[in-house]
Amino acid sequence: MSSTTSPFPERIELTGEGLVLRDWTEADLAAMPDLFDHPDTAYWTPLVSPFDEAAARARLDKARRLRAEGTSILLAITTDGGAALGEVMLRRAPEGTELGYAVGPANRGQGLAARAVRVMAAYAFEELGVEQVILELEAENASSVAVAKKTGFSLLDVPLIEGEEKGRPYVLQTWGLNRA
């Protein structure tokens, strides 16, 4: 974390859009494999696969470390502050303030990702004072592109991001949403 980057609060709970976005807890460890150990999640995200109990522990530890460093916030997506249905992320990066998300397979089709993105974007604009949030998506990931469009993001005219993750090449487009 640079000296000009303010730290994130030790605890965060964001509400809106019928959601409660909250910190991951020890109590969530048992549910995390059901949320993240899925072929679609493994394919489209950098999350490890298989995503087992050890991966859940590593994810929780990483979430806490990244928060303490002031680089990222990883929050559980819930409807009531209880059972986690997915995750939403905010990451401070050189290319901008990036959002990301993953919704458990049993919880898809309820608009959770779009609602969580809107709540997290509002937090970034109102509390962190950022002017733009971005999503980095593969054009072939129709579900994520639909979330970007549904939440008002537009494709930015910036270079594509090419890389390789888990032995698979990827090309990411950058989508942006500006503060209203």
pTM of the model: 0.93
Contacts of residue 117, Cβ cutoff 8 Å, sequence gap at least 6 = 88, 99, 101, 135, 147, 151
Residue by residue, pLDDT tens for the chain (180 residues) are: 444 566 899 999 999 999 999 999 999 999 999 999 998 888 899 899 999 999 999 999 999 999 999 999 999 999 999 999 999 999 998 889 999 999 999 899 999 999 999 999 999 999 999 999 999 999 999 999 999 999 999 999 999 999 999 899 999 999 999 998
Distances (CA, A) of 100 to 3, 30, 39, 54, 83: 25, 22, 18, 22, 20
